[in-house]
Structure 1
Amino acid sequence: MTKTSPPIPFGSERTDLDKSPLEIPGLLSRPIWRELRTFLAVAKSPSFAQAAELLGTSAPTVSRDVKRLQDQIGSQLVISRFSGVTLTETGRKLAMQIADLDFQLFVYSNELKEEADAVTGRVVVSATSGLAVAIVAPAVSRLSDNYPRLNLDIREQVSLVSFEKNQADLMISLSPTSRADIECMQAGTLHLIPVASSDYLRKYGIPLRNTGSRHAFLQCKYYDSDREIWNGWRELINGGQHAHYCENSLAYFALVKNGAGIGLLGSYVLADPELVPLDLNVHVALPIYLISYANRRQSKAVGAVYDWLIDVFGTNSSFGAGLTFPSGRSEQEESLREMLKTISSPSASQPD
């Protein structure tokens, strides 16, 4: 005979002891929701006037809302000076929490909108400037053809390593994330190689490993690290003429494009016929990851953009596991040295 266990006094079957928050009478928060939104606009703006422009109201109204919020909380949040406004430490902490809440409300409102239409709404994608301009933006028309009511919001990355700080639905990242609530899928590989413009090579000649001291190298903030993966590039920088330093990836590309020196760029830029890959025994392969909250992938709009991005990188040979050259250059890999010699005169290869 099976002996039955006595019921647990406070088990899950006691639904009368497990109330929903909606069953609790009254509101816990103070009547400051409008003021909180105003304060977030102030935190994201250098002045009350610009915050008012963001909200579509007047600067005096913004000032009154902030004062009312400070009176309710009992703490100073903003310091107003002639030069603009700055946040106190308490204000900064509150602004970060409100920004997170603002993003969650954005996510929830998008999910509600999507119930009316299978694939509609706005999807935020965070990407570096280089990948956004060269890879993501040119492929948006293909996404629009398939989903005309889907709006893509491409944003510059606030952080290259933190998914949360970018406040996006999807993030194209070079750093993997390992968390139970986040999905991280490799979408391809970014191949960084030394590149110079044709004009630079005509003027200064072909750089070789043993003649690097004669050439100008361009350093980017992203590569300025003591990690082992950058050793080869760092040796070239240290052995050559360190010409310029750049933090902005698009400006860095422009420096290389306009002949300011030799840079380390993704192989996808070789679609530009004026840019030439250099055989300097440096090749940095970085996995590209597509990161999202696991529950957001259930949204049809986010899922559609996710699949589109996987296809964008998966069908581009520049982001394959092995290094190849776009625009037919794969056929010229074995004759790379000959190709370089044809665009550089003998006299130019021996600068004074």
Structure 2
Amino acid sequence: MRPPLEELEAFLLVAETGSFTKAAQRLGLSKSVLSRRVGALERRLGVQLVHRTTHAVTLTELGTGFQERTRKALEDLDDAVDASSRGAAAVRGLVRITAPTNLGVLHVLPAIAELMAQHEGLEIDIELNDRYADIVGGGFDLALRIGELKDSTLVSRRLGTVHRAVVCSPDYLARRGRPSTPSDLEAHECLAYANMGAADQWRFLVDGEWKAVRAGGRLRTNDGAALRAAALAGRGLVGLPAFITQGDVQAGRLVRVLEEFPMPEAGLFALFHSSARLPGRARAVVEHLGAHFQRMGF
């Protein structure tokens, strides 16, 4: 007899998270109900799929093989459902996302709101946090990250490139003058962005080589919006991702300096767990975000 879909989904989430508790939370079920579903699946198949201990859940050899085949089968089912739904222009269901705070506020949320307006059945749960979230343990369908990817177990898709630029207010320039080379920063008040590695060591491409320059100052924080506010108030020069300051630059509230000396760029990625089923609704979100970032010049 073919197992019910609810039993297969319960097993896949337990396999993905390594925990009955986390899988139950993600499905909005009690742990006992989820455990019964996985147990019913094992009895239906006549095999043991998971090893249960007080501290962890691991897959048996048969469970590992069954996980891969089941995941692929349900992905094909999702694709079939999505293909049918597209005839009605429908993207439905819940997608859980984690993203950096400033990127989320300035770009992800507006882009997602646009997609939700097109698809009334789409639900979004988004966590904005500059710390790297545990995608699987946190129950996320996808994560947006900027910079070097350190977790080799994650599958990534590049959505764009984050450019960085040094900006300040016109008032600051009038008072302190415009730096003409990166070395001039040592004589200026610089605002340190802790999320960009060595906050007081800014790197520039000078004559074809990367050069680190000490950019000292009295204010240091990990929040790009706070540094933007400080720059607008004339407190100093700041090297920020361009997506944080581009509106102010276009409006003349901030001015770019040292444009002939590029700063390092960083990749913008969508990440998924390698063993996770990426539902069609999540793929639709990724496609929409990719198009948005491309339009915005990332």
Task: Give the TM-score of the pair, scaled to structure 2.
Answer: 0.61
Greater relative contact order (Cα < 8 A, sep 6+) = 2
- Would the alpha carbon gap of residues 218 and 294 (structure 1) be closer, same or farther in structure 2, given more than 3 Å must change? same
After superposition, where does 1:34-183 map in structure 2 within 5 Å?
100-105=22-27, 119-157=91-129, 159-160=131-132, 162-164=134-136, 166-174=138-146, 175-176=148-149, 179=152, 182-183=154-155
Question: How many angstroms does 1:198 deviate by?
Answer: 2.3
Cα distance in 2 for residues equivalent to 1:168 and 1:244: 34
Quick check: 1:219 aligned with 2:219?
no
Q: What residue number does 1:284 align with?
A: 264
Quick check: 1:263 aligned with 2:230?
no
Alignment-mate amino acid for residue 154 of structure 1 = I
Q: Summarize deviations over 1:30-77 as a string: whole Å, max 9, x none.
A: xxxxxxxxxxxxxxxxxxxxxxxxxxxxxxxxxxxxxxxxxxxxxxxx
Question: How many angstroms does 1:271 deviate by?
Answer: 2.5
Q: Summarize deviations over 1:203-231 as a string: whole Å, max 9, x none.
A: 322123253233110112212439xx954
Question: How many angstroms does 1:283 deviate by?
Answer: 0.9
Query: Counting strand residues as a fraction of each chain, which structure ranks higher?
Result: 2
Cα distance in 2 for residues equivalent to 1:267 and 1:121: 33
Q: Summarize deviations over 1:74-94 as a string: whole Å, max 9, x none.
A: xxxxxxxxxxxxxxxxxxxxx
Cα distance in 2 for residues equivalent to 1:195 and 1:219: 12
Task: Give the TM-score of the pair, scaled to structure 1.
Answer: 0.52
- Would the alpha carbon gap of residues 200 and 266 (structure 1) be closer, same or farther in structure 2, given more than 3 Å must change? same
Contact 1:158 1:166 in 2 (8 A): no
Alignment-mate amino acid for residue 219 of structure 1 = A
Alignment-mate amino acid for residue 153 of structure 1 = D
Contact 2:99 2:130 in 1 (8 A): no
Contact 1:157 1:166 in 2 (8 A): no
- Would the alpha carbon gap of residues 241 and 302 (structure 1) be closer, same or farther in structure 2, given more than 3 Å must change? closer
Quick check: 1:250 aligned with 2:225?
yes
Question: How many angstroms does 1:126 deviate by?
Answer: 1.0
Cα distance in 1 for residues equivalent to 2:191 and 2:211: 11
- Would the alpha carbon gap of residues 267 and 140 (structure 1) be closer, same or farther in structure 2, given more than 3 Å must change? same
Aligned length: 216
Cα distance in 2 for residues equivalent to 1:197 and 1:131: 22
Question: How many angstroms does 1:307 deviate by?
Answer: 1.2
Runs of 5+ unmatched residues, structure 1 = 1-21, 23-95, 320-352
CA RMSD of aligned residues (A): 3.6
Secondary structure at 2:231 match in 1: helix
Which residue, 288, 291, 297 being the options, matches 1:311? Answer: 291
Larger gyration radius, structure 1 or structure 2: 1
- Would the alpha carbon gap of residues 213 and 104 (structure 1) be closer, same or farther in structure 2, given more than 3 Å must change? same
Cα distance in 2 for residues equivalent to 1:275 and 1:166: 38
Question: How many angstroms does 1:101 deviate by?
Answer: 3.2
Question: How many angstroms does 1:189 deviate by?
Answer: 0.4
Contact 2:26 2:139 in 1 (8 A): no
Question: How many angstroms does 1:146 deviate by?
Answer: 2.1
Runs of 5+ unmatched residues, structure 2 = 1-6, 8-17, 35-73, 205-209
Cα distance in 1 for residues equivalent to 2:290 and 2:218: 37
Q: Which stretch shifts more, 191-200 or 155-164?
A: 155-164
Cα distance in 2 for residues equivalent to 1:151 and 1:161: 20
Cα distance in 1 for residues equivalent to 2:233 and 2:20: 44
Secondary structure at 1:242 match in 2: coil
